[in-house]
Amino acid sequence: MTSSIFQLPRRRGTNVRTNGNGNAAAGSSGGTVADGDNSTTTISSSDYSRRCRELMTLDKNLRALGANTFFDLPSITVIGGQSAGKSSLVEAVSGINVPRDSGTCTRCPMECTMSSSATTWSCSISLRIDYNAEGVKAETATHSFGPVITDRATVELWLRRAQAAILSPHLPHSEFHTKSELELRTPDAARLPFSKNAVLVVLCDPAITDLSFVDLPGLIQNESRDVINVVRDLAVSRIASENTLILVTIPMSDDIQNQQAAQLAKDADPAGERTIAVLTKPDILGAGATGWRQKWKEVLEGKDHKLKHGYYCVRLPDDDERSRGLLREESERRAANYFNSTPPWRDIIDRTRFGVPNLAAFLSKLLVARIETNLPSLKKKLDALLKQYNEDLLQLPPAPSSEPAAEVLLRVTAFCEAFKAGVFGNDHKDLAQGNRRLYLQFKQEIRSTSPDFRPFEGYEEYVNPNIVDSEPRDVGVSAVEIGPSDPLDLLDVRQVIADSIAWELPNHVPFGATQTLVLRFTSQWVAPSISCFKAVVDASSALLNGLMGIYFGQFTQLESYVRQLTQAELESCKEQARETLEKLLALEKVPLFTQNTHYLLSEKLVWLARYTAVRHNTRRYLRPEEGPGSRADRGPVYPMAHSAIEEDPFFDELALMATVRSYWQVAYRRIIDYVPLLIEHEFSQRLAGRLQAMLFGNLLQGPDASANMQDLLNEDPVISAKRSVLEGRIARLLEIKQKLDGLS
């Protein structure tokens, strides 16, 4: 055979004592074993035996604490096909009887820990639940199952009960403590076919080899595709880790190439670094099967299908021997006699490759070496995980106080003070900064409503004088003067005057014309004012919602209650402030009024001069197609003499333009200040000032106020559960750390 599932590449520089055929040698007494390094250990050494027991005890304690759910602990996983002799091997190694049925009997992992640090034999069984009923990873929980067993004969029944409990997550575990074997063989319809959760078995026996291993359900082929895949995926997931040694049971009744378990091991461990193969059922090859015997002899001698750790061969009790209840010593004696007297096994030089005791001793040393090597890395990972969980715990809100009333009132006070600080800009400055931006935008929107007067007779023939006369740096002029309003020229203004005349004397411009034009522009201020107000309300609401998450987020009921009250108070302040804002905006209707007469007059003179100068220089503003097109050709603006202004046939229109523009300027200056000040005082500051008193009033009212606050302080179950999980994990990790630190 030239190709192999277990073909091992030739390695250089590795000092491993071999038996001369490529297999690492091992002995049950006085022998040596190397796990890929230059060190060897004498198994008979008392120091080594003590260290072995210490490490195996540590491994047992770590697994009992659930360390394997946090870390990838070294382990041995036994895989094999149905009828490969896997159950018999487990029995021979552990010294206990495991459940046997026709077809698949093992339907969940069994983790077996064997300890010689005892004076009498005993067995303890536990259930470790890593997955919920739907097969989803959950928080690990370990439950003791039944009493400590002191009678070997009852172990098999208790293992059946434990497996049935694992497969029945819908029922309490205690319900299976008294079930008979017959009852266990007739499961209810809700029982799962397989489970990833494990039965834990701890064996204490002074005559046993210190060892731990995981026995998985046997790989099957004559079932539905779903069942086959479940069992296969369980094996694949269990042997994937680099810290897992793979013990493959291979019956000698079939070619190694046909062994599914061997292929899975090859896929997980292509170099054969972690794989140990156990050949079972050698006695099924009769004296006439010389060809098969020779092939398997070559495998055992390392001439074919090479593995780093080589192959072991065991003869296990048959059905007749099991039925007669042969003692372990007698079974081992019969196996030794078989291998010593039967060709070709008797001719193989390395006798350490035969028998369960040799296999168990080798596995024990191999596992102990891995546990020892893994300790420094394990301690580092533990410290890192502890640090992470403690940091995660610090990110959670502190646990509720034992004084609920004080806790609620303190949180409400802090919440209200934080909002007040945001309103006044002392803290949470995003609100003040955001509001300032809103008020600047409001100012720009008001400026965009400025009157766009064009002192021409028909403005269509002219370009906008505000664009022509503004320098590129004079952004303010163009921004102020160019708005969304339709331009009004001299003829438009003359028409407004004409429409306003009633019984005025000749050559008198009626005040109604001024009022009509002013209101035409100031009436546009309502929409941006209301829009600005709504934006400030939304910003305040957003801050309140954020603060509620900070101060009440861990208490769902309290947060909901405070949110309801706060929203009602916000709506009340909002309505009052809006009513006041609408009154303020109404002041810009009639009458038109200002006592800032000095500014009004000075602005009127400026704008009158501006409009008359443009009118005097109309050629400058002709559109390019009707006059000189370049800006350079247009020349400067020449002011008109005062006498020429008064003689202008459109003097009244020009004067009205200047009056309206100057009044708009006065009103603009007050509105851009008063609206923001009103919003701040009548809404933001009023809400900040009333919030705490309102909340206290509602929380403290009635004789049952204290009990009500206790109910409100029930923590959000999600946060409480997360804290509980983190605290539980930290506690377990500290116990694990204590065990590790206690190892000399």
pLDDT value of residue 16: 36
- Of the pLDDT bands very low, low, confident and very high (cuts 50, 70, 90), residue 485 is low
Torsion angle of C-alpha atoms 487, 493, 499, 504, degrees rounded to 10: 160
Domain boundaries, the chain: 404-714
Q: Please give the pLDDT value at position 594.
A: 96
Query: What is the rounded CA–CA span in Å between residue 547 and residue 562?
Result: 11
The per-residue pLDDT for range 75-122, each reduced to its tens digit, is 999 999 887 888 889 988 998 988 876 555 788 999 999 988 888 999
Average pLDDT across the chain, whole number: 85
CA-CA distance, 136 to 266, in Å (whole number)? 28
Would strands 311-313 and 488-489 be described as parallel, antiparallel, or unpaired?
unpaired
Q: Which residue has the higher pLDDT, 38 or 535?
A: 535
User: Does the structure show a pLDDT above 80 at 32?
Assistant: no
C-alpha span between 203 and 216 (Å, rounded):
18
Name the band, by pLDDT with cuts 50, 70 and 90, for residue 640: low
In this model, does residue 519 exceed pLDDT 50? yes
Give the model's pLDDT for residue 571.
97
Mean pLDDT, rounded, for 447-457: 94
Q: Look at residue 680 in the predicted model and tell me its pLDDT.
A: 97
Closest CA to 400 of 723, 640, 639, 34: 723
pLDDT at 542 over 80: yes
Residue 480 has pLDDT above 70, yes or no: no
CA atoms of 145 and 679, how far apart (whole Å): 70
Determine the pLDDT at residue 348: 92
Q: What angle do the packed helices 490-500 and 511-522 form, to 10 degrees?
A: 120
The pLDDT value recorded for residue 253 is 84
Which of 233-247, 461-475, 691-705 is the least confident region? 461-475
Give the predicted TM-score (pTM) of the model: 0.61
CA dihedral 695, 699, 700, 701 (to 10 degrees): 100
pLDDT at 7: 44
How many Cβ atoms from other residues are within 10 Å of residue 399's Cβ? Answer: 12
CA distance 689 to 677: 16
Give 561-575 pLDDT, tens digit per residue: 999 999 999 999 999
Token match 């024990």: residue? 364
Give the highest mean pLDDT range of 316-325, 451-460, 520-529.
Answer: 520-529
Residue at 579: amino acid letter = E
Ranking 79-93, 116-130, 460-474, 698-712 by mean pLDDT, the lowest is 460-474
Give the rounded percent of residues in the chain with a pLDDT score beyond 70.
88
d(CA 154, CA 97) in angstroms, rounded, equals 9
Helical ranges in 23-76 per DSSP H? 46-64
Q: What does the pLDDT average to over 49-68?
A: 83
Q: Which of 214, 172, 177, 169 is nearest to 194 (CA)?
A: 169
Contact between 574 and 535 under an 8 Å Cβ cutoff? The reply is no
pLDDT confidence of residue 103: 54
* Whole-number pLDDT of residue 530: 97
* Cβ–Cβ < 8 Å for 309, 275: yes
Work out the pLDDT band at 629, boundaries 50, 70, 90. very low
The H or E element containing residue 385 is helix 356-395
Give the model's confidence band at 643: pLDDT under 50 very low, under 70 low, under 90 confident, else very high: low
pLDDT for the residue 642 = 58
Query: Has residue 124 got a pLDDT over 60?
Result: yes
- pLDDT tens per residue, range 218-230: 888 777 888 888 8
Q: What is the pLDDT of residues 167-207, one digit of tens each?
A: 999 999 999 999 998 888 887 888 888 899 999 999 999 88
Alpha helices, DSSP H, located in 430-555? 430-447, 465-469, 475-481, 490-500, 511-522, 526-552
Going by DSSP bridges, is the β-strand pair 488-489/453-454 parallel, antiparallel, or unpaired? Answer: parallel
Give the per-residue pLDDT at 646: 65
Q: DSSP assignment, residue 258?
A: G
Q: Name which residue leads in pLDDT, 336 or 328.
A: 336
Q: Which pLDDT belongs to residue 111?
A: 93
Reported as a single tens digit per residue, the pLDDT across 269-324 is 999 899 999 999 998 888 778 888 889 998 998 888 888 999 999 998 887 787 78
The pLDDT, as a whole number, for residue 635 is: 54
Task: Give the number of other Cβ atoms within 10 Å of residue 358's Cβ.
Answer: 22
pLDDT tens column, 646-680: 678 999 999 999 999 999 999 999 999 999 999 99
Gap between the Cα atoms of 540 and 225, Å rounded: 61
Q: Domain 404-714 belongs to what topology?
A: Four Helix Bundle (Hemerythrin (Met), subunit A) (1.20.120)
Quick check: 126 pLDDT over 90? yes
For the residues 723-742, what does the mean pLDDT come to?
Answer: 90
Q: How far apart are the C-alpha atoms of 167 and 193, rounded to whole Å?
A: 7
Locate 559 and state its tokens.
Answer: 């947060």
CA dihedral sign of residues 604, 606, 611, 612: positive
Name the most confidently modeled range: 12-21, 83-92, 238-247, 479-488. Answer: 238-247
Pair of tokens at residue 724: 């509980």
b or e along 480-510 (b: 16 or more beta carbons within 10 Å of the residue's beta carbon)? bbbbeeebbbbebbbebbeebeeeeeeeebb
Inform me whether the pLDDT recorded for 443 exceeds 90: yes
pLDDT, position 68: 82
Print the SS3 string covering 160-223. HHHHHHHCCCCCCHHHHCCCCHHHHHCCCCCCCCCCCCEEEEEEECCCCCCEEEEECCCECCCC
Q: Are strands 122-131 and 198-204 parallel, antiparallel or unpaired?
A: antiparallel
156 vs 180: CA distance, rounded Å = 11
Neighbours of 429 (CB within 10 A): 11
pLDDT band at 354; cut points 50, 70, 90? very high
Q: Check if the beta carbon of residue 34 is closer than 8 Å to that of residue 16.
A: yes
